[in-house]
Amino acid sequence: MDGVESLNNILVIGMTNRKDMIDPAILRPGRMEIHLEIGLPDEHGRKQILEIHTKSMREHDLLESDVDLAYLAETTVNYTGAELEAVCRSATSFALFKGVGTPDAPNEPSSVASGIKVDNKKKKKNQFVEHKVTMANFQQALQEIRPAFGTDNSGLESRLLGGFYNYSETFDVLYQRCLGFLKEIEHAQKTQMLTLLLDGPSRSGKTALAAKLALESQFPFVQMISPEQFVGNSEFVKIQKIAKIFDDAYKSDLSLIILDDLERLIEFIHIGPRFSNTILQALLVLVKKRPPTANRKLMIIGTTSMKGMLAEMDLVDCFNVCQSVPLIHAANEVASVAQNFKCDQETAQAIGDDLEAKYSTQGISMRNLLMAIESSLQKSASGQVELEHVADSLSATMD
Domain boundary among 144, 170, 191: 144
pLDDT of residue 383: 85
- Judge if 316 and 247 occupy the same domain: yes
Would the pLDDT of 230 be above 70?
Answer: yes
Q: Comparing 237-241, 248-252, 318-322, which segment has the lowest mean pLDDT? A: 248-252
**Count of domains for the chain:** 3
The mean pLDDT of the chain is 86
Candidate from 13-27, 146-160, 219-233, 367-381 with smallest mean pLDDT: 146-160
Asked, for residue 40, whether it belongs to a domain, the answer is no
Considering only 84-93, 102-111, 248-257, 267-276, which range has the smallest mean pLDDT? Answer: 102-111
What digits encode the pLDDT tens for the residues 137-190?
999 999 888 887 777 677 788 889 888 999 999 999 999 999 999 999 999 888
Residues 336 and 318 grouped into a single domain = no
Q: Where are the alpha helices (DSSP H) in 78-160?
A: 81-96, 109-113, 135-144, 153-158
Domain boundary among 103, 118, 144: 144
User: Cβ-count burial of 102 within 10 angstroms (0-12 exposed, 13-18 middle, 19+ buried)?
Assistant: exposed
In a domain, 345, yes or no: yes
Residue 33 lies in a domain: no
Amino acid 308: pLDDT? 93
Note the pLDDT of residue 153: 73
Pairing of strands 297-304, 254-259: parallel
**343 and 320 in one domain?**
no
Q: Does residue 204 sit in the same domain as residue 316?
A: yes
Q: What is the pLDDT of residues 117-147, one digit of tens each?
A: 444 444 444 444 457 899 999 999 998 888 8
- Identify whether residues 319 and 335 lie together within a single domain: no
Rg (CA), the chain: 28
Q: Tell me, what CATH number does 130's domain have?
A: 1.10.8.60
Q: How many CA atoms, within 13 angstroms, populate the side-chain half-sphere of residue 157? A: 4
Q: Residue type at 48?
A: Q
- Could you give the CA distance from residue 350 to residue 307 in angstroms, rounded to a whole number? 35
Instruction: Let me know whether 280 and 320 are in one domain.
Output: yes
Residue that terminates a domain, selected from 144, 178, 196: 144
**For position 105, what pLDDT does the model report?**
44
Domain of 101 in residue numbering reads as 46-144
Does the residue 3 lie in any domain?
no
CATH of the domain at 266: 3.40.50.300
Please check whether residue 15 lies inside any domain of the structure.
no
Average pLDDT over residues 213-242: 92
* Whether residues 280 and 393 fall in one domain: no
Q: pLDDT class for 273, splitting at 50, 70, 90?
A: confident
Rounded CA-CA distance 92/80 in Å is 19
Q: What is the tens place of the pLDDT at every residue in 283-294?
A: 999 999 999 888
